[in-house]
Structure 1
Amino acid sequence: MAFTRRKLAGFSALTLASFVATHTATPAHAEWHPFATSATKSKGFSHWLSDITLTGLIDGGIMANPARPADGYNYGDFFGDHANQAQLNQVVLTMQKANTGDAGEYQVGFTLQGIYGSDARYYHLVGISDQEWKSRYQLIPAQAHVDVHLPWATNGGLDMQVGILQAPMGVEVMDPTARPFYTLAYTSQYSVPFEHVGAMFNWHVNKTVDVTFGIDTGNQVTFGTADNNSRPAGYFGINLNNLLGGKLKIVELSRVGPENSSSIMGPYVANQAERFWNDINATLQVNDRLSVTAEFNYLHDQGLKTHNTVNGPFKAADAFSVVTFLSYVITPSLTFNYRGEIYRDNNNAMVATFMGNNSYMNAISGHGTSTLYPGPGGHGTTYGELTLGVNYHPGLGKYVRVFAIRPEIRFDRSLNNTHAFNGGRNNGMFTFGGDAMIGF
């Protein structure tokens, strides 16, 4: 089974800022600077402390399903997985010192972020938090990394982040203020990684080109017995910025390394069978109101269908997808959003619903019980998904960093008539709902 985010500043694959920047931007006066003093104008440690900010966010939502599936789950939906049940998705507390100084200077910052809520079930790290909670609402250290800017080689220098990192691949991220919808696309759930322990680097070659690379222990695993195999994985990719006079940005990011569990597949297969993740996306800011994004993703895993024998034949699993986004600013406080997706699960090895609060992480680690509702058997499934919604984001004064209400309607369908939805009864699913958030 394949198992696959605040962003990595400077080299997140794409933040969809065009969808939300004008609605969720953090005014400087709304941030709390816990170490600010009258001495902040001086140099040295007190000046360094003065740039530290502390912010909070609360997000919750519901996805209603008129079909009322017998198992109670919306198939293929992580954040809104419990049909017709409201959920507290995230309570977020973030302390950060961002590196915003001159690119020609050495800089040191950090990010510490904790998240409590139902979303945390999918973003644990094995060996750190995955077995600490059994309820629907769980707690994770979502980010804990040191950020260093090194003015080396080029005018833009090199950015480095080391520690617990949100995965940089893909368009949609865990942070609800940085994505257009409450729910996620199939691609964002099944074909990109979520969380890492490792190091990421972003080399600013020039104003147009950034090169990204990094190494980590694997997707959502750590070290020793908390790693589901004994091999590392890593990233490499390129960003093309400021194209077409600053209107177009293209991001390509690839990743390679074993990601399957030795306890399930055996050490030979788990360590030798590579997973190749590839994602490329482009965003065009057509004008002040309209922006469009297109994403193409291809995942190839050599081990998901391999027999558990030393010299067993490899039978790789594949998934590929295309996702399109559109955002149109109707008024300064109201934005219309569209998402359309075609996702091909070629071996029915990727898409599943994890039934149980710890099932997803048990599947990652290969330990414990993982109860899931898998995709249809026999042949691969092509999923289609269309989501429409609006983002209502009125300003609530200088002490409220962000406030938004985001209703959406979503249509999911098997395009080759397999019956994956509503407990296996239907070849399609209609859900509606959304979320609300407030941040300080």
Structure 2
Amino acid sequence: MALTRRKLAGFSALTLASFVASQAATPAHAEWHPFATTATKSKGFSHWLSDITLTGLIDGGIMANPARPTDGYNYGNFFADHANQAQLNQVVLTLQKANTGDASEYQVGFTLQGIYGSDSRYYHLVGISDQEWNARYQLIPAQAHVDVHLPWATDGGLDMQVGILQAPMGVEVMDPTARPFYTLAYTSQYSVPFEHVGAMFNWHVNKTVDVTFGIDTGNQVTFGSSDNNSRPAGYFGINLNNLLGGKLKIVELSRVGPENPTSTVAGYGYTGRVSNQAERFWNDINATLQVNDRLSVTAEFNYLHDQGTRTPYGSSGPFKSADAWSVVTFLSYVVSPSVTFNYRGEIYRDNNNLMVTTFTGNNSYMNAIAGRGYTTYSNGGQASDRGTTYGELTLGINYHPDLGKHVRVFALRPEIRFDRSLNNTHVFNGGRNNGMFTFGGDAMIGF
């Protein structure tokens, strides 16, 4: 896939994942320009059409679990949730007109992207595609937005995107070519949003500072009855670029707004209106250091606090809000032009066992977002006031040979992963174990 939320102009955040993809996994081949003409010097509308590109990608994988969990699920894993079963994760088509001109010029572009596969189950928008499918493989409009560059106020100007947007927070993204592993960290699944309808802005103050802000209807909801409450949410944050002679970049992004369904909050004995005042505070900061030509390291810290996701301790109160914090570290080492070694280590604290879960149904995740009934395996029967601290270590190889000008990207990514409850909560393998070992990976090819 040629486009993600960090590849768009004005919203890029140098992360380990994007570095691996851009420096190693994706050969520098020309994209197909369906509207290109021989009149390369033409102006006006025909010239604007000549920059439109169409790209595609197919990605699929499997994560084997020797313990053969009784429920058939790899606990705490979205993209490879079905143990010992191969999945077609994504078939992607992206039509894009990127804004790549001079920053002093007005520019208008767009992105249209559709994704079919098992990953789509987790990236729907309520009211647009969430009720159209009930199978494991589903179809979503992953991106559909207008991109405008405005040469205002500073030399870098202001970039704006309006429409269906992939959420910009965090290190790992949906695009498999822009992350180092097939599976995702707990942080990337439970503590960052996925998809929005709204507007995002990035103001390039100078060569060092970018300011990000935006407003939307909420995480994976739209308007009216398709919003799980009746209030918007929004982002604010800052990027620090070109530090240490261009080797270091720091990205901080925060988000605030109500995210809980009215029906869920009301189910705990509150009026539905409380969901509009029960704010969720998302905070993520990550820093990437390019140590040398081969070695890159990234550290991410995330903290989430939710005033509306509450759980009773016992048959009646008191009530506590949900909290989760995490630290994730990444390392990428380029072994050769076609081989990259990747490491990820994570500690994720779910204070009330309200964040990490496995949704045991093809539509359960989106039903939970919308406030409808859903099935889930959450904490293995452990007391909710105990909480769980998860540890996760993943090691992998990215083999990405250059197959010629007609193949934009090809990669094989085997990985091994170790998950463990650091406070001995038995949540894995159908509630039998306090740890889980999985191995597998994915393969991708794109034009």
TM-score normalised by length of structure 1: 0.96
Q: Look up the SS of the partner of 1:32 in the other structure.
A: coil
Deviation at 1:132, TM superposition (A): 0.1
Partners of 2:299 and 2:323 in 1: how far apart? 20
Deviation at 1:392, TM superposition (A): 0.2
Q: Tell me what 1:323 maps to.
A: 328
Q: Look up the SS of the partner of 1:305 in the other structure.
A: strand
Q: Tell me what 2:202 maps to.
A: 202
TM-score normalised by length of structure 2: 0.94
Deviation at 1:14, TM superposition (A): 4.4
Q: Is 1:431 equivalent to 2:438 in the alignment?
A: yes
Contact 2:29 2:405 in 1 (8 A): no
Q: Is 1:416 equivalent to 2:423 in the alignment?
A: yes
Q: Is 1:51 equivalent to 2:55 in the alignment?
A: no
Partners of 2:418 and 2:412 in 1: how far apart? 20
Q: Look up the SS of the partner of 2:298 in the other structure.
A: strand
Deviation at 1:315, TM superposition (A): 2.1
Q: Tell me what 2:151 maps to.
A: 151
Q: Which residue of 402, 405, 411 corresponds with 1:395?
A: 402
Q: Tell me what 2:261 maps to.
A: 261
Contact 1:12 1:169 in 2 (8 A): no
Partners of 1:110 and 1:407 in 2: how far apart? 34
Contact 2:25 2:398 in 1 (8 A): no
Q: Tell me what 2:171 maps to.
A: 171
Deviation at 1:37, TM superposition (A): 1.1
The 5 A counterparts of 1:26-425 are 27-29=28-30, 31-266=31-266, 267-305=272-310, 315-367=320-372, 369-376=373-380, 377-378=382-383, 379-425=386-432
Deviation at 1:17, TM superposition (A): 2.3
Structure 1 residues 350 and 325, CA gap change in structure 2 (3 angstroms): same
Q: Which runs of 5+ in 2 are unaligned?
A: 267-271
Partners of 2:357 and 2:229 in 1: how far apart? 22
Structure 1 residues 229 and 48, CA gap change in structure 2 (3 angstroms): same
Structure 1 residues 314 and 417, CA gap change in structure 2 (3 angstroms): closer
Q: Look up the SS of the partner of 1:46 in the other structure.
A: helix
Structure 1 residues 14 and 125, CA gap change in structure 2 (3 angstroms): farther
Partners of 2:27 and 2:263 in 1: how far apart? 45
Partners of 2:216 and 2:204 in 1: how far apart? 21
Contact 2:26 2:410 in 1 (8 A): no
Q: Look up the SS of the partner of 1:316 in the other structure.
A: strand
Partners of 1:370 and 1:12 in 2: how far apart? 35
Deviation at 1:13, TM superposition (A): 4.3
Q: Tell me what 1:11 maps to.
A: 11
Contact 2:161 2:199 in 1 (8 A): yes
Contact 1:23 1:402 in 2 (8 A): no
**Match of 1:62, as an amino acid?**
I
Partners of 2:387 and 2:35 in 1: how far apart? 55
Partners of 1:248 and 1:206 in 2: how far apart? 16
Partners of 1:248 and 1:61 in 2: how far apart? 33
Partners of 2:12 and 2:146 in 1: how far apart? 16
Deviation at 1:314, TM superposition (A): 5.9
Q: How far does the alpha carbon of each residue in 1:205-234 deviate from its partner, in whole angstroms, 9 at most, with x for none?
A: 000000000000000000000000000000
Partners of 2:40 and 2:95 in 1: how far apart? 18
Deviation at 1:12, TM superposition (A): 4.1
Partners of 2:275 and 2:379 in 1: how far apart? 23
Taking only the aligned residue pairs, the percentage that are identical comes to 85
